[in-house]
Structure 1
Amino acid sequence: MNIFRFAGDVTHLISILVLLLKIYATKSCSGISLKTQELYALVFLARYLDLFTDFVSVYNTVMKVVFIVSSVAIVWCMRVDRVVRRSYDKDLDTFRHLFLILTSFLLALLVHEKFTFQEIFWAVSIYLEALAILPQLVLLQRSGNVDNLTGQYVLFLGAYRAFYILNWIYRYFTEQHFTRWIACVSGIVQTALYADFFYYYFISWKNNAKLQLPA
Structure 2
Amino acid sequence: MNVFRLTGDMSHLLAVILLLVKIHNTRSCSGLSLRSQILFALVFTFRYLDLFLEFYSIYNTTMKIIYLVTSYTTLYFMVVKFKSSYEKEAHWCRMEYLAIPSLILTALVTREYALLEMAWTFSIILESVAIMPQLVLLSSSGTAEVITAHYLFLLGVYRTLYIANWVYRYHVEGFFDPTSCVFGVIQSVLYADFFYLYFTRIVRNRKFQLPFHEGAQAGQAKNII
Q: TM-score range by the shorter chain?
A: over 0.9
The CA deviation string for residues 45-74 of structure 1, in whole angstroms up to 9 with x for no partner, is 000111011100000000000001110111
Distance in 1 between residues matched to 2:66 and 2:92, nearest whole Å? 28
Cα offset for 1:76? 1.6
Are 2:94 and 1:86 equivalent residues in the alignment?
no
Distance in 1 between residues matched to 2:112 and 2:198, nearest whole Å? 40
Which residue of the partner structure matches residue 192 of structure 1? 189
Which residue of the partner structure matches residue 32 of structure 2? 32
**Contact 2:8–2:162 (8 Å) recurs in 1:** yes
**Contact 1:30–1:87 (8 Å) recurs in 2:** yes
Are 2:12 and 1:15 equivalent residues in the alignment?
no
The CA deviation string for residues 142-175 of structure 1, in whole angstroms up to 9 with x for no partner, is 1111111110110001110001000000001011
Which residue of the partner structure matches residue 149 of structure 1? 147
Which residue of the partner structure matches residue 122 of structure 1? 120
Q: Do the aligned partners of residues 94 and 33 (structure 1) sit closer, same or farther apart at CA in structure 2, a change above 3 Å counting? A: farther
SS in structure 2 of the partner of residue 106 of structure 1:
helix
Q: Do the aligned partners of residues 156 and 5 (structure 1) sit closer, same or farther apart at CA in structure 2, a change above 3 Å counting? A: same
Distance in 2 between residues matched to 1:65 and 1:78, nearest whole Å? 20
Stretches of structure 2 lacking an aligned partner (at least 5 in a row): 213-225
Cα offset for 1:91? 4.3
SS in structure 1 of the partner of residue 208 of structure 2:
coil
Are 2:208 and 1:211 equivalent residues in the alignment?
yes
Stretches of structure 1 lacking an aligned partner (at least 5 in a row): none
Cα offset for 1:179? 3.7
Residue type of the alignment partner of 1:190: Q
Distance in 2 between residues matched to 1:198 and 1:11, nearest whole Å? 15
Q: Do the aligned partners of residues 104 and 148 (structure 1) sit closer, same or farther apart at CA in structure 2, a change above 3 Å counting? A: same
Cα offset for 1:85? 1.4
Cα offset for 1:114? 2.0
SS in structure 2 of the partner of residue 211 of structure 1:
strand
* Identity among equivalent pairs (%): 47
Q: Do the aligned partners of residues 114 and 179 (structure 1) sit closer, same or farther apart at CA in structure 2, a change above 3 Å counting? A: farther
Which residue of the partner structure matches residue 46 of structure 2? 46
TM-score (norm 1): 0.94
TM-score (norm 2): 0.90
Distance in 2 between residues matched to 1:3 and 1:186, nearest whole Å? 21
The CA deviation string for residues 173-193 of structure 1, in whole angstroms up to 9 with x for no partner, is 0113x2421011111100000
